[in-house]
Amino acid sequence: MIRLQLSPITSVAQAQAMLETAINVEFGTLPPYLYAQLTILPGSNAPAAGRLRSITHQEMIHLCLAANILNALGGSPKLQPPKYPGPLPGDIGHDGKVLTLHILPFGKPAMQQGMNIEMPVDPIDFPQLKLAASPTKAVTIGQFYEALDAYLKTLPATAWQANRNQIDDKQFFPGQLFAVNNYADAHKAIQIIVSEGEGASTSPLDFSNELAHFYRFEEIYRNQVLTASDSPQGFSWGGPLGVDYAKVFPAIADPQLHDFSKEPAAARAAQNACTKAYSAMVDALNLALNGDAAQLGIAVRKMFDLRMAAIEALHTPLNDKHKVAGPAFIYKKT
């Protein structure tokens, strides 16, 4: 279970720092989730691919909502692309150990990593499912947001700067994103972020009555559909989801560690295209999150460019003809 170290919040500056951490935690999960999604062979694993696609989509919304809260408090969001393998920001870990995130192709290890990231403080013990007791040290991501919410509730109305560098659904994610202009808006945003990641304390469903991220990852991991039932928990593990872990590109893990200088020119070119698109996307998002609304369209185009570059890379053999490499998610300022 991922846990963040949390100190008492006594100032707006501390709240801003927490939000900066939260933004980069959300951002840091995207490359691992995207790599797993992209490495599924086309035409296969549709239920798993759909779940992963919806998770990455919602993580982007969470990032924007956290940025909206930070902007409303007078802060300036800054995405800081992490290195992989490596830790997420915020001294994150469990049982006293820092969690190291890897870039993994679609498979059980990648799904277990997703479960580790999204696990709630008290995972629900459904029939067939046995989970270890949760450690009590530090806090989960959900508790991290709840502590932040408790502090934000104490702020006077004058602490909030309405309409400051806000991204709403007219610009991005229609019907799902909204501006944060006061505490009520911030509280709503935090509830969405927590419920979509972890679910409710007594249900695997989020506020939209969809499975929270943790349970979607677990469905894929177990290759079982979590189904409403008459069990005491209200849900049980049912029939197969239809996962075939053999239907995956033969992609290497942790491509940031790979020496592409020794690979064929086509493989190097494919990685360079991935790096260019990813870097341009990060730069455009940073500008967009700080008030340059015109950059949102550019960021969306660069996301598409990254996907196209990734597809090309995954079809380009390395020297080992049985291996390919997806995007390494290397950032170089454009």
304-313: b or e for each residue (b if 16 or more CB lie within 10 Å)? ebbbebbbeb
- Mean pLDDT over each residue of the chain, to the nearest integer: 87
Q: Are 314 and 38 spatial neighbours (Cβ–Cβ below 8 Å)?
A: yes
* Judgement on whether residues 111 and 10 belong to the same structural domain of the protein: yes
* Judgement on whether residues 13 and 88 belong to the same structural domain of the protein: yes
Residue 169 pLDDT grade (very low, low, confident, very high; cuts 50, 70, 90) = confident
For residues 63-85, average pLDDT: 97
Query: Per-residue pLDDT tens for 275-302?
Result: 999 999 999 999 999 999 889 889 989 9
Q: Are 115 and 101 spatial neighbours (Cβ–Cβ below 8 Å)?
A: no
Element (H, E) at 190: helix 183-198
CATH number, domain containing residue 21? 1.20.1260.10
Query: What's the pLDDT at 2?
Result: 47
Inform me whether the pLDDT recorded for 52 exceeds 90.
yes
Q: Which DSSP category does 254 fall into?
A: -
Pick the closest to residue 36 from 269, 279, 216 (CA basis): 216
Residue where a domain terminates, one of 233, 248, 263: 248
Residue where a domain terminates, one of 224, 248, 272: 248
Six-digit token pair at 35?
Answer: 């790599």
Pick the closest to residue 234 from 203, 207, 256, 263 (CA basis): 203
* Judgement on whether residues 257 and 315 belong to the same structural domain of the protein: yes
Residue 9 pLDDT grade (very low, low, confident, very high; cuts 50, 70, 90) = confident
The end-to-end CA distance of the chain, in Å, is 36
* Judgement on whether residues 172 and 243 belong to the same structural domain of the protein: yes
Six-digit token pair at 6?
Answer: 């949390």
pTM: 0.89
Pick the closest to residue 104 from 217, 26, 187, 6 (CA basis): 217
Residue with tokens 């049980």: 236
Structural domain count, the chain = 2
* Judgement on whether residues 69 and 167 belong to the same structural domain of the protein: yes
Q: In which domain, by residue range, is 316 found?
A: 251-333
Residue where a domain terminates, one of 248, 283, 314: 248
Inform me whether the pLDDT recorded for 100 exceeds 80.
yes
Query: Per-residue pLDDT tens for 196-213?
Result: 765 555 567 766 667 888
Inform me whether the pLDDT recorded for 226 exceeds 60.
yes
